[in-house]
Structure formats: structure tokens, C-alpha cells
């Protein structure tokens, strides 16, 4: 049985759409970035910490993930408030950035830790468009202050890599590990 160590509605929906049965046990950890920590190390560390923070039965596999947005080496997590969301969206508009999701599967005595990177291109946005987008509320619980699957899709001009990674879970990468351990 797969246990998702996340309360993310997007991760739940992605697993459901892929018809992967699971239950949810939320992991509560400190998600602070360590000084000088690289984005890929950061998301891999958090995914592993989340996977270890959740209790499991012997036959269960814990799946944990963490997603962040990176622009010019700066990690853009979830915005603290509307002003922070405006700052992030303004910085991303008209530019390319990376979305990185770290995953960890904890099964029996093994930890499988990996990450997926997707480049996202965003069109320029006027100040009025940015303000309207932030006022919609969509950016407030998302890394980088946008959701590719929602209103922000109006401004995404291209991606290179896994779309589902940008939504919050690189499903094909997760499935590769689930097949490897015999759960899929």
C-alpha cells in the first residue's frame, strides 16, 4: 500500500488520475532552506525528511515530495503574503525558470531519493495582469506563486520536461520507482 506524506490536493489528484491507490498521512516538518543550500539538495532533503516523519506498517511504502521554483539561483517557495506573490510573479514574468520536485519513497529498509527538473517559460505580464492574478488567490499556496494548471496557464509559453512535475509530482518518475520495488 502506498502512503502519500502530503496534504497537497494537486499530488492527491495526480495519483488518483494515474489510478494509483494510496492513503494520506501528512508529514509536519520544518521546510526552511539552509544557508547556501542548492535547490535540488533542498527538495531532496525535504522529501526524505517528510518520508521519515510518517509512521508506516511493514508492507507500506511512503511517498513524499517537495516542489520549488528556482529563478537565477534563488529558491522561490510559497509566498508569505500578497506582496511577496506580486514580487515573485513580477520576477518570473517574461523569463524562463526551473521547477524542481524532490521525491522520496521509503519502502522496507530502502530510501529512494530523486528529483525532476522542468524548465518553464512565462510570457511578459503587465502590472494589472500580475495584480489581478494575485488577487485571484491562486498563487498563495504554490511554490513560485503560480499554478501552471490554473489561471497562470494563460502566461505559460512553453515547458521543457515533465508537466506533472510543475503541478507538483513527477508521476512517471514515481512510477519508475514503484515498478522497481514491485508495487506497480
pTM for the whole thing? 0.94
CATH number of the domain bearing residue 91: 3.90.950.10
Q: Which domain holds residue 128?
A: 2-180
Q: How far, CA to CA in Å, does 184 sit from each of 19, 25, 44, 172? A: 11, 20, 23, 12
Domain count, the chain: 1
Q: How far, CA to CA in Å, does 20 sit from each of 17, 74, 106, 184? A: 8, 34, 16, 8
pLDDT tens-digit map of 89-120: 999 999 999 999 999 999 999 999 999 999 99
Q: How far, CA to CA in Å, does 139 sit from each of 32, 59, 125? A: 19, 37, 15
Query: Hey, which residues are catalytic here?
Result: 66
* Residues of the chain scoring pLDDT < 70: none
Amino acid at each position: 500500500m502506498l502512503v502519500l506524506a502530503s496534504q497537497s490536493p494537486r499530488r492527491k489528484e495526480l495519483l488518483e488520475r494515474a489510478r494509483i491507490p494510496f492513503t494520506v498521512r501528512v508529514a509536519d516538518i520544518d521546510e526552511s532552506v539552509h544557508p547556501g543550500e542548492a535547490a535540488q539538495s533542498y527538495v531532496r532533503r525535504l522529501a526524505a525528511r517528510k518520508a521519515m516523519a510518517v509512521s508506516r506498517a511493514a508492507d507500506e511504502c511512503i511517498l513524499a515530495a517537495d516542489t520549488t521554483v528556482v529563478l537565477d539561483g534563488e529558491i522561490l517557495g510559497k509566498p508569505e503574503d500578497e506582496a511577496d506573490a506580486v514580487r515573485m510573479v513580477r520576477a518570473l514574468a517574461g523569463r524562463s525558470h526551473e521547477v524542481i520536485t524532490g521525491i522520496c519513497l521509503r519502502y522496507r529498509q530502502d530510501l529512494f531519493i530523486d528529483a525532476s527538473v522542468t524548465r518553464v517559460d512565462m510570457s511578459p505580464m503587465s502590472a494589472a495582469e500580475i495584480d489581478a492574478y494575485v488577487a485571484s488567490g491562486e498563487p498563495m499556496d504554490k511554490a513560485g506563486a503560480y499554478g501552471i494548471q490554473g489561471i497562470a496557464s494563460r502566461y505559460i509559453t512553453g515547458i521543457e520536461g515533465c508537466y506533472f512535475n510543475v503541478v507538483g509530482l513527477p508521476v512517471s518518475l514515481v512510477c519508475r520507482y514503484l515498478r522497481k520495488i514491485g508495487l506497480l
